[in-house]
Amino acid sequence: MMRRLLHASARRNPTFSHCAIRQSVLPPFLATLPPHSPLSIATRALRPIPPTHTERAPPHRALSTHILPDLPSERIQYRRRNSKLRQLLEGSPHDRAEAERLFASLLHSRAASDGQLGVMLKASVSSDAARLRMRQAAAAGVTLAESHYSLLLARLLIEARGEGEVRAAVEEMEAAGVRPAEQTARTLELARDAGAMARRRATVLRSLVELGEAEREGAWALFERLLEARVANEHHLTIMLKARGASPSSHRLHTTNLHTAYTPPTHRVHIAYTPRTHRYCGRRDTMRELIARAEAAGVSCRTPTHTLLFEQFRLEADEAAAAAHLAQCAAPHDARLQYVAALREPALSARRGGKLSYFLSGGSRDQEEGMALFTLLAHRQKLTPAIVHIVRRLAPPAAAAATADIAAAAGVPVDETDVRLSAHAKANRRRQVVRHVEHALADGSATPPQVTLAIRLCASSEQAYELLARAHGLGLVLGPAAYTVLFKQLHIEGASEVELLAAKREMRARGTHEDATLRRAMQPAAHEVRRMQSAELLSLFSQPEGAADGLALFERMLRRGVADGAHLSLVLRKGCANEEERQAMAAKALAFGVQVQEDEPDEDALMEDTWGANVWVNNPQKKARAKARKARGETAAPPPVPEAEAAS
């Protein structure tokens, strides 16, 4: 009876929780009852629970009932699944495959909804895949709506399907009992605007080529269809020319294996690595073939296309072909062409390293193409220690041994120290790397890449300055990357204008080339500096030996007046081990006028991108908590956003 009364009270008052029952409703006389009496047994589950220090509130990242208290459990589960699908579809190829398995399991259990079908339709590679998903969902009991057919129609129009297929899709929608309305009319109206359709096709192509190998195959299929329909333009062509990996047709053109590509006559070295597809006879051959097919399909190739081909000639170290191509261009004095033509060997070497890193970070076919480019550069004597280091670090296991053999045959020694230092840096062992480079500077065996890596891992600008001075004292020439790290560290610590000006003068006195990244690091925006500060603090506190360095950095920020409440909240949560340290740090920050901020920055967003936008605006967890506070009738304003941040 007591239990029925309590549950009836809870139904009349939705905010009447079991916690309130335990704290205020139970009468005191229950404590005097015998332990085996019926009333004592009936109310035992409702007795007050003593608080424990191990109990914690559920994490704010989980979309649970304590965030959305007014929603039914089915709605919360619906939102969870939609959020999980979106998160997986935006991740790696493994995550996208996991999203496919999750949606298939939802269909199998007949628990899928129309919203989840819409999420999967937007991620479909082609109209055929979208149509197949719609049929599977309909067979699993999902009610197809106009929004689903509108997505299918949009995909058909993007693929330049004929009017017959579009009309058949509209008839299929009407046969399914879905009446075309405003959304369908807007989708069909878009097909009449050729410029808008071209921009949509470019967006779809770009999004597909930036994903995995399977999606890139879909991009090539879409581009082939656009060429057949004669609706492709130069923008579409340049997107595919920049795409990682060659077109599927190019893999049928070259069948020679890598192990016969290059072996110097004086150093016969057996190369065991043999890719499955083709020899890298020059990606320019693939680009030329694609440009010829595009011109045959009515695409007018102007300066942007020829600039990409000219740049590829220079990256492959074929200066004769580059000069001949430049002479044949219709606009040889174009600014972009002249910029690429003026690139010197250090800049070209840096671009080759970036291209190799881009290839080797992809799938198996991309890695094969990257290794083929590496072999071609070895054949043309354009390898550098930095390029060898990149390939040694990113090459697949089957090609790791061949990398050292190719580099040694080309006359480039392989420094195992660089590989070992990179492993230490990847494992967040900062002090070991810096200590090793300091010893190498002492005995004169340090190299510029090693010094740059140590500067990147320094805990303060003073330590970075010391390494720079010792490196210049030995005559080492450091590139712009070292000074980029130095200026970022100075801005993080809140250096004055005098200190920044002195660093610029010293850099220019050394003759360091200023690239775009260095210029950006010299003059970052206010919100970028705030993001860099939070990201650096979080990075230090996430390392096994970085807590002391993080606290020292925060104290320097306090003394220079650049710390705020978000930084203090991060330090209290991540850098302090116990309550005494938190109270001492809060008191020290309060002496400098810094108080704890209620809404902390999102850690995942900070670690993702140092140059991102404002944290609070793009934080879905904080939006959910704000919505929950609003539902409870509480008012909590977001943290103040500076004018520079709001404008950005």
- Could you tell me which residues come within 8 angstroms of residue 498 by beta carbon, excluding any fewer than 6 positions away? none
Determine which helix (DSSP H) or strand (DSSP E) holds 171, and give its type and residue range.
Answer: helix 163-175
DSSP secondary structure code for residue 259 in this structure: G
SS3 606: helix
In this structure, are residues 116 and 85 in contact, taking their beta carbons and an 8 Å threshold?
yes
pLDDT of 287 strictly over 80: yes
pLDDT of residue 623: 56
Band (36; pLDDT cuts 50, 70, 90): low
Tell me the residue type at 335. A
Is pLDDT of 13 > 60?
A: no
Place of tokens 């007795």: 47
Q: Assess whether pLDDT exceeds 60 at residue 32.
A: no
Residue 509: per-residue pLDDT: 86
The per-residue pLDDT of the chain, averaged, comes to 74
Higher pLDDT, 538 or 27: 538
pLDDT of 510 over the 80 cut: yes
For the cut 70, the answer to whether the pLDDT of residue 286 exceeds it is yes
The yes-or-no verdict on residue 265 having pLDDT over 50 is no
pLDDT at 440 over 80: yes
Q: Round to whole Å and give the CA distance between 458 and 409.
A: 36
For the residues 436-448, what does the mean pLDDT come to? Answer: 83
Average pLDDT over residues 353-380: 82
| 381 alpha carbon, distance to own chain's centre | 34
Query: pLDDT class for 312, splitting at 50, 70, 90?
Result: confident
228 with 194: CB under 8 angstroms?
Answer: no
Checking if the pLDDT of 347 tops 80, the result is yes
432 in Cβ contact with 404 (< 8 Å): no
Answer positive or negative: Cα dihedral of 196, 197, 201, 204: positive
Band (pLDDT 50/70/90 cuts) for residue 427 is low
Determine which of 140-144, 209-213, 217-221 has the lowest per-residue pLDDT on average. Answer: 209-213
Q: Which helix (H) or strand (E) holds 129?
A: helix 127-139
Q: How confident is the model at residue 635 (pLDDT cuts 50, 70, 90)?
A: low
List the one residue out of 211, 234, 218 whose CA is nearest residue 158.
218
The mean per-residue pLDDT over the stretch 550-574 comes to: 88
Which residue type, as a one-letter code, is found at position 341?
A
Distances (CA, A) of 609 to 553, 583, 602, 604, 606: 20, 31, 12, 9, 6
